[in-house]
Amino acid sequence: MPTAPRGVGNLRGEEGFPAAARTALADPQLRRNLGHATRTIRAKRASVVAEVPDWQELRAAGAAIKDDVLARLPELLVQLEEQVTARGGTVHWARDAAEANAIVTRLVQATGADEVVKVKSMATQEIGLNEALEAAGIAAWETDLAELIVQLGHDKPSHILVPAIHRNRAEIREIFLREMGKVGRPAPEGLTDEPRALAEAARLHLRRKFLSARVAVSGANFAVADSGTLAVVESEGNGRMCLTLPQTLITVMGIEKLVPTWQDLEVFLQLLPRSSTGERMNPYTSLWTGVTPGDGPQEFHLVLLDNGRTATLADPEGRAALRCIRCSACLNVCPVYERTGGHAYGSVYPGPIGAVLSPQLTGVEDNATLPYASTLCGACFDACPVAIDIPTMLVHLRNRVTEAKEAHGPLPGAEATAMRAAAFAMSDRRRWTLALRSAKLGRLLGRDGRIAAVPPPLTRWTRTRDLPVPPPESFRDWWVREHGGRS
pLDDT digits (tens, 9 = 90+) for 271-310: 999 999 999 999 999 999 999 999 999 999 999 999 999 9
Distance CA 400, CA 420 (A): 18
Burial of 144 (0-12, 13-18, 19+ CB in 10 A): buried
pLDDT of 297 reads: 97
pLDDT at 324 over 80: yes
Local confidence band at 413 (pLDDT 50, 70, 90 cut-offs)? low
Q: How far is CA 217 from CA 62, 145, 239, 252, 401, in A?
A: 28, 16, 10, 8, 36
Local confidence band at 322 (pLDDT 50, 70, 90 cut-offs)? very high
Q: Mention every residue, 6+ apart, whose C-beta is less than 8 A from residue 90.
A: 84, 300, 301, 302
pLDDT of 459 reads: 77
pTM above 0.85, yes or no: yes
Q: Tens of pLDDT along 456-472?
A: 767 777 777 788 888 88
Buried b (16+ CB within 10 A) or exposed e, 402-437: beebeeeeeeeeebeeeeeeeeebeeeeeeeeebbe
pLDDT of 411 reads: 60
- Read off the pLDDT of each residue in 30-47 and give the average, rounded to a whole number: 92
Q: What percent of the chain has pLDDT over 90?
A: 78
DSSP state of 411: P
At residue 47, the 3 state secondary structure works out as: helix
Q: Tens of pLDDT along 207-248?
A: 999 999 999 999 999 999 999 999 999 999 999 999 999 999
Local confidence band at 80 (pLDDT 50, 70, 90 cut-offs)? very high
